[in-house]
A and B are shown apart, each in its own frame.
Chain A
Amino acid sequence: MVKRTSYIGLAVSFVIFSLQQVFSQVRPTIYDEPLSDRQVSYAISAELDAQARTVTGTQRITWRNPDRVPVDELQFHLYLNAFSGPNTTFMRESGGVHRGFTSDDQERWGGIEVTRMRIIDDATLPHGDFSSIPLSSPGEPGVDITGAMEFIRPDDGNENDFTVMRVQLPEPVQPGETVALNVEFLSRLPEIVARTGWKEKPDGSTFFFVGQWFPKLGVYEAPGRRYVPADAERGSWNTHQFHENSEFYSDFGTYRVSMTVPEDFKVGATGVAVSETVSDGRKTTIHEAADVHDFAWTASAEFLEFADSWKHVSIKLLIQPEHEGQAERHFAAAKVALEYFAEWYGEYPYTTLTLVDGVGGSNGMEYPTLITCGTTYGLPEWFRVLEIVTIHEFGHQYWYGLLASNEFEEAWLDEGINSYTEAKIMDAAYGEGAVLDIPGWTVSDSELQRLMYTKNAPTRDRLFLNSWEYSSSSSYAMNSYAKPATVLTMLENHVGLDTMRAILRTYYDRWRFRHPTTRDFIAVADEVANQDLSWFFDQFVYGSVAVDYRVAGFTNNIVSPDSAETREYNSRVVLERAEEGVVPVELAVRFDDGRLEMIEWDGRDRWQTYHFSGPAKVTEVFIDPDNKVTMDINRANNRKTLEPESGVERKYGLKFIVWLQQLFQLFSALI
């Protein structure tokens, strides 16, 4: 009986497990119901010509009017056109160099051409059951509106920029109604620039990363959405040109994409693979994705493919053969990220995660359920750049993927929060040596972020700024990554770790699958912390002040010098606020009888003096002893002692002597 029950139980478990496996493999999220408003849907047939390095595509797009008034135009991103010539806005701003990678050869330009656009009679498509949407074909009947397409330049008026297109519709789309289009396009992929295109490896094989590759609708912001007042007469399109430092902003929806590539290519893509067929030397893979706002894919004959899983997530790794030995490091880092994000901030709702080890400048990029990580051959275990990039790019699944802020206008909401969480997870998982772990020389991720902020023009530019308005690319990077990470670490130290986690979890719960703003984040922070934090955000998000508190000095005057037993001191401690930033700080004052006095200073005045009287003199003054004010750009001046301390000079003096002896030995060997 016991045995029989066990067998039945085993059989039932096996069936359930098998169904779960099958089910989880074919559905893109762990939920049956839509998670987002699915404003758009895309069904795309794409064919890669590996020789010509082009993608020919036909796509069926639906868009639902979210406004309460009719809308008579659509706007599209055509971001591959950013790489179509030397005078596009992207090329002008970047000088043809993006994060060290150049694209200045005429033969290597890319671009996207919309060859035909028609309105089709398909507007009643269900938004939920997207897998029933047929893939588009060029011959579908419809009203041709190709002639109504025109390029617009909303940001800079650059006549040579063709990255945003508007289409005047013959009939407006009524509120709540859906319009369907059939769009034929040809994408010429550039040699990889800004993480998209092709790259020929030294062995002659070609790697493709196909991002920003299809005509994609901009975001129509209806009244009440983001900064459009709820009582506005009507909403408007928010569609920006592609800039050197801008990345994503688009609506949630569904994707069903068929990718046809040479038979020997391996494909990785957003979403979940639902079918794969081979015919005439070509392989066609169909992927479906739901509640995402972009779709990217990669293809190469060289990839090695590995698979692993974490709870409900199937993890696929496409890695370059020369990096095979680091496959496990990729999986380990991805699982660390999945584990910590789920525990601290919220669940990962998708069933897949694809890690891509790209080539050239394709690495370090995020797309829904697909990230490019990247490593180098021989990367030592003690230098965790692979882990940093993997955890960072995975973090975007939350702060970019699920909370789809407008990265053109508020990049810090994605990159900054993500850099903060990356540092938290790296340091929690790998400790003091999270970045560099050489004996005696350890560097943590939060230290690295702080260093990059404090030593790189900390008062230049602010976090809340359009991405193309920063004084330089490095200023954009500093204000979007390291500085916000440091700002949020200081906020955490101010409100407490638990409250900070609650802020981010609430922000995630409340705004996932929507388009939050800085204002929304601050509102959540105020609410969860139960305090008005405008003093904080005004200075460090909307403003660009730096923080520096210093001990100006202290004195001990003897007031009753009779004997050591009865001696009394009047001690005076002077503190200074050396920069504009104001934050409350703690002050530790130590006396020669061992007493330690802790004082709270609101940090507002430029100078602050404290007086102490008693039998003990002040021996040490220490501002912010717990290192909470992470934005303090010079901690070296935070502390003073009556008697100089020794130790460090002996340690490094001795080390230096040995280093010199070694160097002398090395150089004298030359002669």
Chain B
Amino acid sequence: MWHRRGLVLLLYLFGLVLAVLVGGAVSRLLSVEIGPTGFSERLTERFDIVLWADFWDGLAAGFAAVARQAVLAGVIMMIWKVASSVGLIHALQGDSRLSFWEGVSRFTLRGISLGLLYLLPLLALLAVVVIAFEAAASDMGEVGAFWTRFVVMPLAVIVLAATVDLFHDYARMHLVLRQTKIRRAWLEGIKWPFRHFRSVFLYKIWFWISALLWIAVLLVGFYMPDQTLGAVMAAFVIQQGLIIARSGAYVSWIGAEVAFFERYAPSVPEPEAAEMELMVSDDQVFAAAGGNAEVQ
């Protein structure tokens, strides 16, 4: 991660700039609507729901515009996610220091196509899961419905999304590192965890690191005092530190998966690749990938 701090910073800054552009609009909106009234201090000190509701008449239209910007920013962020992923895979492969931007320019369009091939079925599957669990919950007692709605269903959604994400990671590697065609890469991505079960453990490790960092950001927001601007700023700085760490974790995550892929993926026709697999043990590769030895 440290050796690729430029990439870490880039990933972090892209998200930050996008958030600042939208968040800045919120700031301006609040400044215009609330600033001249003198209620700014009151609303900084505590959440006064009545006063916020009174201001809402003036804020609603502005917030609607911000919401539209946020959706647009979300789409840009998703495209950036694809671009940065293929860029990272390209840059982190082998021992050579290949260009991140070259990867972005060469593989982003195909990466998006591949992404859509995963995204659309994923959305459909998520809808099916939610509908199925909701239907099941409605026939259960209160306790069953509670656990179904608030524990089992969210877990199922997360597991499903993570599984598809895992497929997707290795499909992208086929696309970038083996120049596989999109449909073929899609299929290889799905096959990968079944052929190389250790990749699931590798995914889990980085998934939990990222998830814990994500949760930590939330917890800081909840539990750090925010009645004064100083406290809010302190919380913001800590949160940004955690988000930078999350970007670092992401770079390392991809790096580890690339290393894993390079050890296992056939770089030659399939029959020969199968022979190669017999020559390298899973444990050796996992240790190497987890130990970050190949990630530069």
Binding site for A on B (CB under 8 A): 15-16, 18-20, 22-24, 26-31, 34-41, 43-44, 46-51, 53-55, 57-58, 70, 73-74, 77-78, 80-82, 115-116, 118-119, 122-123, 139-144, 146, 150, 161, 165, 168, 214, 217-218, 221-223, 226, 229, 232-233, 236, 239-240, 243, 246
The interface residues of chain A lying within 8 Å CB-to-CB of B27 are 649-650, 652-653, 656
| CB within 8 Å: A-B pair count | 195
Please give, as numbers and ranges, the residues of chain B lying within 8 Å of A646 by CB-CB distance. 31, 35, 40
Residue from the list A202, A620, A663 in contact with B139, Cβ < 8 A: A202
With beta carbons under 8 angstroms apart, the residue of A447, A637, A660 that contacts B50 is A447
The residue from B40, B146, B239 contacting A658, defined by CB atoms under 8 A apart: B239
**A636-B37 contact, Cβ under 8 Å, with A439-B222, A439-B223, A657-B23:** yes
Which among A320, A439, A658, A662 has the highest number of chain B CB atoms within 10 Å? A658
Interface size on A, residues (CB 8 A): 59
Q: Do the beta carbons of B47 and A440 come within 8 Å of each other?
A: yes
Residues of B within 8 A of A634 (CB): 54, 57
Whether the Cβ atoms of B140 and A668 lie closer than 8 Å is no
Query: In chain A, residues 24-78, which have Cβ atoms closer than 8 Å to a Cβ of chain B?
Result: none
CB contact between B246 and one of A322, A443, A651, A665 (< 8 Å): that residue: A665
Closest residue on chain B to residue A619 by CB atoms = B38
Residues on B with C-beta less than 8 A from A450 are 50
Q: Are B54 and A645 neighbours in the complex by a CB distance under 8 Å? A: no
Bound-state CA distance A620–B40 (Å) is 13
Decide: B74 and A664 in contact? CB cutoff 8 A. Answer: yes
A669 close to chain B: CB less than 8 A: yes
Q: Tell me the minimal C-beta distance from B58 to chain A in angstroms.
A: 7
**The residue from A442, A620, A650 contacting B229, defined by CB atoms under 8 A apart:** A650
Q: Which residue of the partner chain A has the closest CB to B19?
A: A660
A426 to B36 Cα, complex, angstroms: 34
Min CB distance A620 to B, Å, is 6
* Contact B214 A662, beta carbon cutoff 8 Å: yes
Closest to B240 in A: A658
* A201 nearest CB neighbor, chain B only: B141
A438 interface contact, C-beta 8 A = yes
Decide if B49 touches A653 in the complex (CB within 8 Å): no
Q: Which residue from chain A places its CB closest to the CB of B44 in the assembled complex? A: A647
Contact between B38 and A620 (Cβ–Cβ < 8 Å)?
A: yes
A650 to B226, CA, bound (A): 11
CB neighbours (8 Å) of A637 from chain B are 37, 54
Cα A652 to Cα B141 with chains together (Å) = 40
Chain A's closest residue to B231 (CB) is A651
Residues of A with C-beta under 8 A to B73: 660, 664
A654 touching B232, Cβ below 8 Å: yes
Closest to A653 in B: B27
Contact of B77 among A377, A455, A664 (CB under 8 A): A664
CA distance in complex: A669, B36 (Å): 41
Rounded to whole Å, the gap between the CB of B115 and the closest CB of chain A is 4
Inter-chain CA distance A622–B41, complex, in Å, is 14
Give 5 A-B contacts (CB < 8 Å), ordered by A residue: A377-B142, A377-B143, A648-B30, A664-B73, A670-B119
A640 & B146 in contact (Cβ 8 Å cutoff)? no
Interchain CA distance A378-B144 in the complex, whole Å: 11
Q: Chain B: interface secondary structure?
A: helix
Q: Is A671 close to B, CB under 8 A?
A: yes
- Contact (Cβ within 8 A) A641 B229: no
**How far is it, in angstroms, between the C-alpha of A455 and the C-alpha of B16 when the chains are bound?**
36
Query: Nearest 4 A-B pairs (CB), nearest first?
Result: A653-B27, A644-B35, A668-B81, A657-B23
CB of A636 within 8 A of CB of B232, answer no
Task: Specify which of A641, A645, A653 is in contact with B23 (CB 8 Å cutoff).
Answer: A653
With A620-B38, A656-B19 known, 10 other A-B pairs at CB within 8 A are A202-B140, A438-B222, A636-B51, A647-B229, A649-B31, A653-B24, A665-B214, A667-B74, A669-B165, A671-B82
> Which residues from chain A contact B24 at a C-beta distance below 8 Å?
653
CA distance A669 to B123 in the complex (A): 12
Specify which chain A residues have a CB less than 8 angstroms from the CB of B48 in the assembled complex. Answer: 447
Instruction: State the CA gap A662–B16 with chains docked (Å).
Output: 10
Contact check: which of B31, B38, B218 meets A622 at CB < 8 Å? B38
Given A649-B31, A661-B16, A670-B161, A639-B47 contact (CB < 8 Å): no
Supposing A641-B38, A657-B19 touch, asked if A650 and B222 sit within 8 A by C-beta, the answer is no
Give Cα distance in the complex from A377 to B139, angstroms: 16
A236 interfacial by beta-carbon distance below 8 Å: no
A227 to B236, CA, bound (A): 64
Contacts of A655 in B (CB 8 A): 221, 226, 232
A209 vs B257: C-alpha distance when bound (angstroms)? 61
With A620-B38, A653-B27 known as contacts, the answer to whether A442 contacts B47 (CB < 8 A) is yes
Q: Which of A558-603 contact B (CB under 8 A)?
A: none
From A432, A622, A641, A664, give the contact of B15 (CB < 8 A): A664
- State whether the Cβ of A13 lies closer than 8 Å to any Cβ in chain B: no
Cβ of A639 and Cβ of B44 under 8 Å apart?
no
CB distance from A448 to the nearest CB of B (A): 7
B77 close to A641 (CB less than 8 A): no
User: What residues of A have a CB within 8 angstroms of the CB of B78 in the complex?
Assistant: 667-668, 670-671
The answer to whether A535 has its CB under 8 Å from any CB of chain B is no
